[in-house]
Structure 1
Amino acid sequence: MHRTIAGLALGLIAGPALAQDSASQTLTVYAPDYFAFESGPGPAIKQAFEAECGCTLDYVLGEVVPQILLEGDRTEADIVIGIDSTQAAQARGTGLFAPHGVDAAALTLPIGWEDETFLPFDWSYLAFVYDTEAVDNPPTSFAELIARDDLSIAIQDPRSSVSGLSLALWMDTVFDDAEQAWADLAPQIVTVTPGWSESYGLFLDGEVDMVLSYTTSPAYQRMAENDDTVAAAIFDEGHYMTIELAAQVAGTDNPELAQQFMDFIVTPQFQSMIPTANWSYPAALPREDWPEGFRELPIPDSAIWHDEETAAERRDPAIEAFRSGMTR
């Protein structure tokens, strides 16, 4: 989700014996690096959950899906958090995960969610973010963006970046001939970076007019940096929706504690940390409870989203369209 360069608490109803057991337990959570930044949600989540469980929560940081693919059933994770929805098929294919056991009625996503394994904790829309002082007539559709010839744009590589892959899937959905759309857009793309932070940094340095990011990026700029010159271009065709997921490992030695953490994810206490720490929309908090800076953000009229089977099926064709179109 947006990576800055930068609840109802569960009742203690189990009795003294379980409380003593919890105090000696450690919950190991695999999470992306950004999650545990000082400005990210990880430290506050750790503090809040440890206060509820009387346990220790330890993060193991890195690229979570490659890590569990490498480790398989040797993984030490009890919980994995930060799985992008485009990676869900890969993660599910490991066979490592148990049902999350959480009532999906708590979720407030703009789409229905019935997956019993992966639990959303935040989401956003992909968007081209621009400098309002450099672009005074932002495109209002993807087709218009493709037709322009006066913008400089930084994007992420779909072969190495989940946001870049989401862009490839977005274009694959919007355009009948995605390869031609990439070829038409290519003259305006001045750089393709391995990840989000590199291209967003170029944008902040004024090297490009627009950058592939998220509709929530302007909230960070305004609320954290006091910068109101950043906006997201909203397209008539709709925007690709990205969702970050959590799951509990079936082979955990601490199943009760893992379940307690999964339940904690959808509480107001956890969800209220997401907007201004992960700079994304919370997955289980009504819009009226979002910070004002998030409630004021423009919302696309429609969400474009692929379930994991469709995302896996379209991944290679979408990446090939990117490769072929950009090298014409």
Structure 2
Amino acid sequence: MKTTTYLPAVAGLAICATGALADTPVLQVMTYDSFVTEWGPGPAIEAAFEAECACDLQFVGTGDGAALLARLQLEGPRTDADIVLGLDTNLTAAARETGLFAPHGVDADLDLPITWTDAEFLPFDWGYFAFVGNQGEAAPASLQELADSDIQIVIQDPRSSTPGLGLLMWVKAAYGDAAPALWEALADNVITVTPGWSEAYGMFLDGEADAVLSYTTSPAYHLIAEEDASKVAWPFAEGHYMQVEVAGKVAGTDQPELADQFMAFMVSDAFQSVIPTTNWMYPAVIPADGLPAGFETLVTPETALLLSPEEAAATRDAALDEWRTALSQ
């Protein structure tokens, strides 16, 4: 008798549970791998947004930042992504050319060093590229001094990584027509080129390189999370190239209201307060509690370098050729 009555009850519960899951809307956000790791911003942001949206927020990691654009260009209108998060201003012109993005519709007071007017791409964080080395070791004062030294560095591939592409733009913005000569001198310092930031930074931490291409904010991780002040960003006389990371709403999303809700959530305190101590960048909107203690110790470049999205797009192919030529010799 118990079996006869129990099984239909269980079956009924299973059907109800399946129906409930089927009714939960899903928002898919395509981003870079480090964003979705357990130590990245993804888990905390997912929990905070799902508490508001009654939805299932799914982050999909796709290599490093520049790989996002390549995947998006490959998938085109067939993409399952509702939001693409992790492009930067060196890539937004090419992303715009795909015709896959809709206006974000968010009006927010952003805390950026530049005026933001892009209607399709909305910033979520920003920072400055820098070479990070160990405290107490001789540090070069410029890209040229680094190239003239015997310091061994690891960098990222500009075809798959936004820091790698940022270095190309940095050299081009600082040296212009003299960029090929700088790359020729710097090539001997490069011990390897990795697909993404995580691999490169891991090699540096393992002692396989003297320094790594990263950010002026990277030492904050070691200082705050590890109470370790041994990692430092080197300030360079030419200035430092800025990165502004953005997200965009895919025009063909089948969850337009949820996508709009996420874009607005992205500049809220619930999202922005997570960024400094998980993505280790400056938030696009300073949280109500301000920046964490330790950020005041970071290097502040005297000169900020940044090409417009259009300038970066026009420069990219020539800069890649210069980089490839130098590193292949």
Normalised by the size of structure 1, how large is the TM-score? 0.87
Tell me the alpha carbon deviations over residues 8-42 of structure 1, each in whole angstroms, 9 at most, x when there is no partner: xxxxxxxxxxxx9xx73222212222211111111
Q: Is the 8 A contact 1:181 1:325 kept in 2?
A: no
Q: Is the 8 A contact 1:287 1:295 kept in 2?
A: no
Instruction: Give the AA of the match of 1:73.
Output: P
Return 5+ residue gaps in structure 2 as ranges.
Answer: 1-19
Counterpart check, 1:70 vs 2:74? yes
Counterpart check, 1:121 vs 2:88? no
Say which structure, 1 or 2, has more relative contact order (CA 8 Å, 6+ apart).
1
CA distance in structure 1 between the partners assigned to 2:203 and 2:71 by the alignment: 29
Tell me the alpha carbon deviations over residues 251-281 of structure 1, each in whole angstroms, 9 at most, x when there is no partner: 2222222111111111111100001111111
**Number of aligned residues:** 303
Partner of 1:190, secondary structure, is strand
Q: Is the 8 A contact 1:108 1:286 kept in 2?
A: no
Instruction: Give the AA of the match of 1:54.
Output: A
Q: Is the 8 A contact 1:161 1:195 kept in 2?
A: yes
1:248 offset after TM fit, Å? 0.8
Instruction: Give the AA of the match of 1:112.
Output: T
Counterpart of 1:249 in structure 2 is: 250
Larger Rg: 2
Instruction: Give the AA of the match of 1:145.
Output: L
Normalised by the size of structure 2, how large is the TM-score? 0.86
Over 3 Å off, 4+ runs: none
Q: What is the CA RMSD across the aligned residues, in angstroms?
A: 1.9
CA distance in structure 1 between the partners assigned to 2:288 and 2:241 by the alignment: 20
Summarize the alignment of residues 106-255 of structure 1 with structure 2, pairs less than 5 Å apart: 106-133=109-136, 135=137, 137-147=138-148, 149-175=149-175, 176-255=177-256
What percent identity do the matched residue pairs reach?
53
Select which of 79, 84, 107 maps to 1:80: 84
Q: Is the 8 A contact 1:124 1:280 kept in 2?
A: yes
Partner of 2:320, secondary structure, is helix
1:286 offset after TM fit, Å? 6.3
Counterpart of 2:14 in structure 1 is: none
1:189 offset after TM fit, Å? 2.2
Instruction: Give the AA of the match of 1:97.
Output: F
Partner of 1:122, secondary structure, is strand
CA distance in structure 2 between the partners assigned to 1:283 and 1:316 by the alignment: 29
Partner of 1:177, secondary structure, is helix
